[in-house]
Amino acid sequence: MLAFNEHTAQSIDNYIEALFVPGDPVLEANIDRADEAGLPPIQVTANQGKFLYLLVKIAGARRVLEVGTLGGYSTTWMARALPEGGRLITLEFSPKHAEVATANLAAAGLADVVEVRVGDAAVSLQAMVDAGEAPFDFIFLDADKSGYVKYLDLVMQLSRSGTVILADNIIRNGAVLEENPVEAYDIGAKRYNAVLAADERLESLALPMFKDKIDGIVISRVK
Q: What are phi and psi of 90, to 5 degrees?
A: -125, 135
Which residues in the 49-68 window bind ligand DHB by CB under 6 A? 68
Contact residue for ligand SAH among 120, 133, 153, 199 (CB under 6 A): 120
Angle at 147 between CA 144 and CA 153, to 5 degrees: 140
Q: Number of residues in contact with Mg ion, rule: CB under 5 A?
A: 3
Contact residue for ligand DHB among 33, 142, 189, 206 (CB under 6 A): 142
Residue 43's region, left for phi above 0, alpha for psi from -120 to 50, else beta, is beta
Closest CA to 140 of 213, 55, 210: 55
89 binds ligand SAH (CB under 6 A): no
Which residues in the 154-213 window bind ligand SAH by CB under 6 A? none
151 binds ligand SAH (CB under 6 A): no
Nearer to ligand SAH, 150 or 221 (CB): 150
Half-sphere exposure of 213 toward its Cβ, with a 13 Å CA cutoff? 12
- Which of Mg ion, ligand SAH, ligand DHB, none is residue 93 near (CB under 5 to 8 Å by kind)? ligand SAH
Closest CA to 73 of 111, 28, 38, 113: 28
Q: Which residues bind ligand DHB (CB under 6 A)?
A: 42, 68, 142, 168-169, 185
